[in-house]
Structures are given as C-alpha cells and as structure tokens.
Amino acid sequence: MLLINNQTVEQILDMKGCMAALETGYRDLINERAVYRGRYDLFVPNDDPKIMYRWGTMEGASRSFETFAIRMKSDMLEWPEGKTVEKYCIEPGTFCGIVLVFSTRNGEPLAIINDGIIQHMRVGGCAGLGVKYLSREDSHVIGIFGAGGMARTYLLAFHEVRKITEVRVYSPTKKNREAFAQEMGEKLAIKIIPVERPEDAVRGCDIVATCTDSIQVVVEDPSWIEPGMHLTCVKSNEWNPEIVKRSDLVIKMGRATMNLDVGMRRIGGEAAVVAGNEEEIKRIANPRVDIFSSDFPLLTDVMSGKLKGRTDRNQVTFFANSGTQGLQFASTAGYVVREAKRRGLGQEIPTNWFLQDIRD
C-alpha cells in the first residue's frame, strides 16, 4: 500500500493528466461503468458559538481505473462577519483531508493520499471540461473572481483547452490579486491584469469564473453579461440566480444521488445532518442563494451527444460545477496511484496493517 503526500501528487498530476482522467471517469459513467455518491456533511456544534465542526465525505468508483475512492475531510469552520467561510484542522493554517483508494478487482487497499492537490485539480479540471464542451472555441479573454487555489487550477484548465491571451482577476484584497497576476502570468506566459472593480472582470470577457470562499453573491448585476459568454462557478451562491435564469443554456456537472431524508438539511448546496438543536443550527451561515439545487441537464448528456451544447456563438452558457464529486476522486486518485506505481513514487507501508482475519 502507498502513502502519497501532496508533494508526490504534484509531481504526478498536471492539468492535462487530470482532465484526461476525469474525462475517462465520465465516459465510464456514460457507459454505465462508473458510480458515485455526492458530498455529504456532518456538523457538530462547538462550545464556542463562533466555531462548528464539519466532517465531509464523498465516494465513487471507475471501472477503467479499477478503483474505488472515498475522500474524507475534518474541518473546524468559522464565518467571519457572515461573509466568508474559513476552515482549519487543529489550528489555522493546517488542514486534514485524505483519499482512501481501493482496488475493485480484488478489494486491496491501494493508497492513502493527501487530498489538497487532488481537490483543487479535480474541481478546476471539471470547470475545464465545461469550457471545452460549452464555450466558444475562439474564447481567449478570461475573467476570474478570486485569487486562491481554485482560481489557479481553473485558469490552468481553461489554458489547457482554449488559447488564452488575457486574464482579468478581481479580488477584494489588492495584494492577493496582484500576487496571482504575477505568479500565473509568469507560469503561463500570458497577460494577467489585476482589476479594482468586479465589473471589470466580467465586461469584455469570453469566459467568467467565480472561484471564491464567499457565502454571498459575487456577481450581482445581469447587465454585465454579454452575448457569447461562458459563465461558471465554484460555489452555489456566487451568481445572482437571475443571471443563471437568463442564460441560454445551463448545464450541471452532475446530479446529487442523495435525497434529503428525515433530519437532513441542505447546507451550502450539499446534504447534511447536524448534531445540534435549532438554536445551534442557526449558527451555520447557510447561503441564501443555491443555484445547485435546480435540476439542470448534465454535462455527460452533452459529452455523449444526447444533448446539444452551444449551438450559437451568441448564446450565454452557464456551467454549474457541482455533483459527481465522488467519481472525480475515483478517477483522479486512480490515475495518481497508477502513475505512482509506474514511476516508483510514494512511501510503501505494509498492506497487512489494514487486513484482518475476523469476518465483519
């Protein structure tokens, strides 16, 4: 069995390989060779009313990679001023998330992987698939809201499938948008302009992506949207629902597999349970906007030819990057494990540590 840290994942998983792995997983899903469960969260209130514990999990399997994967994360959450969500494990600046990978051929535990790099890459890679299948092929000007890890992988994915010549990045924190512009401009050898006003990251752009940790609407004004744009997001609350409603074609990455049962809630667009009373539950800053809960056509329908994608260069397309998360981890982690074995990377640990002779 392999123990694979983020540094090793970074050696293996570039955006081209990530998107190829994701597309393989979704082709499996189209051909009834894959399965997934969407994200499920469990909240536990803390004695400190400003803090909430959250356990998150998602899982899936891909027959092409012969892998099942479950991603698990342990977070302490805070919502400063009710505007953003901040998270940590043990103390600010450290995080805990792992992917356990098993063989669907013989049940063998294959790997334990830090989820940090995979998490950012698989979300960005899926946004890239949305751009590949829904944006105009001559799209070359990108607008990005946010200057963190997701903004970086989104841009990497867009650069993989379109000839990008200019990027406009908006963050309310000046030093963050300037640092993003310098780093990613040098990395991709393209022009990146940090802008001071949010509308400047929308108007005149071919593709606009929101990649923030905000729990409030980020793009509010429908008048900013121009014909031919492709729009996408990270979270369920970043776009004014009126913009989504006015879009000519709205496609979602995948459909949730879990209906809300007794005692379950929808928090931040995901299914969840909370070990707390009604007053404690009110502490959770649940966004008022949830575009993910609507039932849109799926990207796999476009990929398979069942549904036409963009049919006119003036159409406004919107890609809701949510759903099928478990399959994304099965595909990308399956790719990472396969490549780690081929290249002799990762730290070997005894498989028998995880086996026993007692039948459950």
Q: Which of 124, 86, 335 is nearest to 211 (CA)?
A: 124
Of the pLDDT bands very low, low, confident and very high (cuts 50, 70, 90), residue 42 is: very high
* Stretch 235-247: mean pLDDT: 96
- Residues contacting residue 237 through CB under 8 Å, at least 6 positions apart: 214, 215, 216, 217, 268, 269, 287, 288, 289, 290, 291
- Residues contacting residue 255 through CB under 8 Å, at least 6 positions apart: 295, 298, 323, 324
Every domain of the chain and the residues it spans:
2-118+325-353, 120-257+285-320
Note the pLDDT of residue 8: 98
Encoded tokens for 308: 């036409």
In the predicted model, what is the mean pLDDT of the chain? 94
Measured distance CA(340)–CA(23) in Å, rounded: 20
Q: What is the pLDDT of residues 181-209, one digit of tens each?
A: 999 999 999 999 999 999 999 999 999 99
Measured distance CA(264)–CA(354) in Å, rounded: 32
Q: What is the pLDDT of residues 134-156, one digit of tens each?
A: 999 999 999 999 999 999 999 99
Examine the pLDDT at 257 and tell me if it is beyond 80.
no
Q: Which residues pair with 195 in a beta bridge?
A: 170
Note the pLDDT of residue 82: 81
* Stretch 320-336: mean pLDDT: 95
Q: Which residues pair with 252 in a beta bridge?
A: 298, 320
Of the pLDDT bands very low, low, confident and very high (cuts 50, 70, 90), residue 344 is: very high
Of the pLDDT bands very low, low, confident and very high (cuts 50, 70, 90), residue 263 is: low
Note the pLDDT of residue 261: 59
DSSP letter at 108 equals -
Of the pLDDT bands very low, low, confident and very high (cuts 50, 70, 90), residue 294 is: confident
Note the pLDDT of residue 260: 57
Note the pLDDT of residue 285: 83
Of the pLDDT bands very low, low, confident and very high (cuts 50, 70, 90), residue 267 is: confident
Examine the pLDDT at 258 and tell me if it is beyond 70.
no
Higher per-residue pLDDT: 75 or 265: 75
Measured distance CA(211)–CA(31) in Å, rounded: 31
Examine the pLDDT at 126 and tell me if it is beyond 90.
yes
- Residues contacting residue 17 through CB under 8 Å, at least 6 positions apart: 335, 339
Note the pLDDT of residue 63: 97
Q: What is the pLDDT of residues 201-230, one digit of tens each?
A: 999 999 999 999 999 999 999 999 999 999
The percent of residues in the chain predicted with pLDDT above 90, rounded, is 84
Distances 316 to 55, 136, 168, 303, 340 between C-alpha atoms, Å: 37, 10, 19, 19, 41
Q: Helix, strand, or coil here: 266?
A: strand
CATH class of the region 120-257+285-320: alpha beta
The CATH code of domain 2-118+325-353 reads: 3.30.1780.10
